[in-house]
Amino acid sequence: MRASRLLSLLLLLQTRGRMTATELARELEVSVRTVYRDVEALSSAGVPVYSDRGPAGGYRLLDGYRTRLNGLTAEEASSLFLAALPGPATQLGLGEVAANAELKLLAALPPEPRSHATRMRERFHLDVPGWYRGADEAPFLTEVSEAVWDQRPLRMTYRRWGPRDVERVAEPYGLVLKGGSWYMVAAVGGGEPRTYRVSRIVSAEVLGGRFERPAGFDLAAYWERYAADFRRRMYTAEAVVRVAPGVEGLLRYTVGDDAADIALAGAGEPDERGWAVVRLPIESVRHARWLLLRLGTDIEVLEPPELRALMAETAAALVTLYGEAGG
């Protein structure tokens, strides 16, 4: 355990430069006193680690010192190849670079981790898009990724929901791949970050100059908040429905995990036939009509009245259609 911690401390100093004992203790989840002992152990083992005193002080390695020991276990090496995304890397123009990096990593690994990594690559494959839709076509993804990487403004024409495209000069902070679709997180005119679907960019030009990213901007944290807010905004209404026993899985598949979780968590007591009344979040009455029709006679809409009437109207039209076909 201590050997692993000493290696982690060494790699932290190698990758981050000067760090205080408090920072090291926080990263390693140990006490500051333990850090003192570990640094002394590294120094005794011949590692050139030095202490700088003063407000800006801390521990650092001798300039130019690098260790060749990567410390990867077989499982850690395997996980790196499981996390590889050759498809998205190719979309970003990094396919060849990623392939070369994989070859170099394999060559640098000792025999046992190399064997584990090779088996992982042979036995697991990550396919990002869902079953019922392919990945978005994003012809300007290269320009967007260049602007993100180099912190350069991007002039774009963006196709919003509506009749007109809009012109924007954006400062892209990052890219997110969600379910086969790329999203750009960017600010316009010094405003708050917003999210743009890259496939809706119909023209793009990387401009000269550079912009400054906001200090402390965390792309992953932003996306988590955005996704949670998106789910809240998506459900603007509620339907009261009766569901047949045993269709919980089909309900989840039809309306999605978020809506199904909310509905099933508040389900009433089943009646004598096993049917239960639930309150189901919906996007709109018309959208709910198409979703709930997929459940056939395993669901009955009770409220709102307009949704119940729409379901009855659609069912009557189906009877008419298939009655005529059968006649």
Q: Are 170 and 156 in contact (CB under 8 A)?
A: yes
pLDDT at 266: 87
Query: What pLDDT, on the 0 to 100 scale, is given for residue 258?
Result: 82
Average pLDDT along the chain, 327 residues, taken 10 residues at a time: 77 83 90 91 86 78 70 60 62 65 65 71 70 76 92 94 85 89 92 93 94 91 90 87 90 86 88 92 91 92 95 92 69
Question: What per-residue confidence (pLDDT) applies to 215?
Answer: 87
CA-based radius of gyration for the chain: 28
For the full predicted model, state whether its pTM sits above 0.85: no
Integer angstrom CA distances of residue 168 from 6, 149, 219, 260 = 50, 19, 21, 38
Q: For position 134, what pLDDT does the model report?
A: 67
Q: CA-CA distance, 177 to 220, in Å (whole number)? A: 11
3-state secondary structure of 319: helix
Give the C-alpha separation, 179 to 87, whole Å: 13
- pLDDT the model gives residue 275: 94
Question: Rounded to whole angstroms, what are the CA distances from 307 to 161, 236, 292?
Answer: 25, 14, 10
Predicted local confidence at residue 247, as pLDDT = 87
Look at residue 52 in the predicted model and tell me its pLDDT. Answer: 81
Terminal C-alpha separation, the chain: 78
Torsion of CA 267, 269, 270, 271, to 10 degrees: -130
Q: Which amino acid, 221?
A: A
Query: C-alpha 96: how far from its chain's center?
Result: 24
Distance from C-alpha of 136 to C-alpha of 37, rounded to nearest angstrom: 53
Q: Where are the alpha helices (DSSP H) in the chain?
A: 2-16, 21-28, 32-44, 74-82, 86-91, 95-108, 111-123, 141-150, 219-234, 248-255, 257-265, 285-293, 305-326
Write down the pLDDT at residue 262.
87
In angstroms, the CA 115 to CA 269 distance is 55
171 in Cβ contact with 187 (< 8 Å): yes
Look up tokens 């198409």; give the residue.
290
Tokens of 68: 């060749």
Amino acid at 269: E
36: which DSSP letter? H
Instruction: Give me the pLDDT at residue 186, please.
Output: 96
Do the Cβ atoms of 136 and 197 come closer than 8 Å?
yes
3-state secondary structure 254-286: HHCHHHHHHHHHCCCCCCCCCCEEEEEEECCHH
